[in-house]
Amino acid sequence: MDILVNIGIVLLTFLVMEGVAWLTHKYVMHGIFWFLHRDHHNKDHDDFLERNDFFFLIFAIPGIICLALGNFYGKELALYIGIGITLYGACYFLVHDIFIHQRFKVLRNSDNWYLKAIRRAHKMHHKHLGKEQGECFGMLWVPFKYFLEARKKA
């Protein structure tokens, strides 16, 4: 039974992280920390890395702390929350940086309706070059209309 509870904690944390990412993206990255996020919308450099990549560290810190608490101090709840945060971070890297933004030229031609929907929603997010009037702040769950459009085309 403990294993099911622990898996549930990991899955719940993963799902909650989508909400945390949405809220942080809309109100922090497009708010007070726009100075770090701006170069993600307006490419003003030719570097592989962006100032926006600092958010990777910002998001990783709670996961690292939870994993450390679990591993070094026996705090099981913290360990499984840390696993959920870390899995979300890995998924974010794969979906956002590799699939959507093609930082590494793989996964370019997917016909999967779900992947097409999140790619389209993200393109709509990036059509706004300023911090105001943005849309589609999520990564894995985007407005339903993009899923419907992708299903129609499939």
Strands (E) across the chain are located at none
SS3 93: helix
Least confident of 1-10, 32-41, 103-112: 103-112
Q: Count of residues for the chain?
A: 154
pLDDT band at 49 (very low <50, low <70, confident <90, very high): confident
User: With contact defined as beta carbons under 8 Å apart, do 122 and 113 qualify?
Assistant: no
Does pLDDT of 85 surpass 80? yes
Distance between CA 94 and CA 16 in Å, rounded?
18
Return all residues near 52 (Cβ < 8 A) that are at least 6 apart.
29, 36, 37, 38, 39, 40
H helices of the chain, where? Answer: 2-24, 34-41, 54-73, 76-92, 113-126, 144-153
Average pLDDT of span 47-56: 84
| Predicted structure pTM score | 0.87
Residue-wise DSSP of 127-141 = T--SSSS-----SSS
User: With contact defined as beta carbons under 8 Å apart, do 147 and 113 qualify?
Assistant: yes
- The helix/strand count (H/E) of the chain reads as 6, 0
| CA angle (125, 127, 132) in 5-degree steps | 70
Q: What is the pLDDT of residues 133-151, one digit of tens each?
A: 777 888 888 888 988 888 8
Q: Which H/E stretch holds residue 30?
A: none
Nearest residue to 51 (alpha-carbon basis) of 60, 64, 63, 42: 42
